[in-house]
Amino acid sequence: MSLPAEIAFHFNVAHKVPYLCRLLRKANQAQKRVQVCGPDDLLALLDVELWTFAQDGFVPHGRADDPPWLVARTPIVLCREPVPGLGSDVLVNCHHHMPALEVPFDRVIEVVGLSEEERAPARTRWRAYAALGCTLVRHDAQQAGAAGQEGRA
């Protein structure tokens, strides 16, 4: 198992889909390959929103169940769980559980909403990552939002 260099927790995300769109646009502009893992309903909303949220263009993305040749060329892949073999730089985790770390990533971003239903499992993941010896970074999305920033992708 190869541990990521950094685990960044983005806490207090009030509106997850728009936040993710901005974060993924920034990652794409930085030419990062990203996998976004989460529940099917969130991924479906994100898939639609990535096509329409920016007036100056869409954020190129695909789904893990797209044809393999397309997934291999897509910078942002939406998937239920991490997909091995894509050579992704960043994993964005929107699940309440810790992702499998068998797939190597340079960085993991944990996106956590405002509800206690999301915050309690996030605290458990934080402790689990810490026990593995990962470098943890806390990013308060509400404070960053006031400054007009989405955080580092």
Q: Is the pLDDT of residue 146 over 70?
A: no
Helix ranges restricted to H, 8-140: 16-29, 40-52, 68-73, 116-132
Q: How confident is the model at residue 147 (pLDDT cuts 50, 70, 90)?
A: very low
> Among 69, 50, 66, which residue's Cα sits nearest to residue 58?
50
Per-residue pLDDT of 102-116, as tens digits, reads: 888 999 999 999 999
110 CB-side CA count, 13 A: 27
Q: How confident is the model at residue 38 (pLDDT cuts 50, 70, 90)?
A: very high
Inter-helix orientation angle 40-52/16-29, to 10°: 60
Q: Name the 3-class secondary structure at 79.
A: strand
Q: How far is CA 86 from CA 27, 52, 91, in A?
A: 16, 25, 11
Q: How confident is the model at residue 148 (pLDDT cuts 50, 70, 90)?
A: very low
Instruction: Tell me the domains of the chain and their CATH numbers.
Output: 6-146 (3.40.50.10110)
Tracing tokens 């889909």 back to the chain, one arrives at 17
What gap in Å lies between CA 128 and CA 131, rounded to an integer? 5
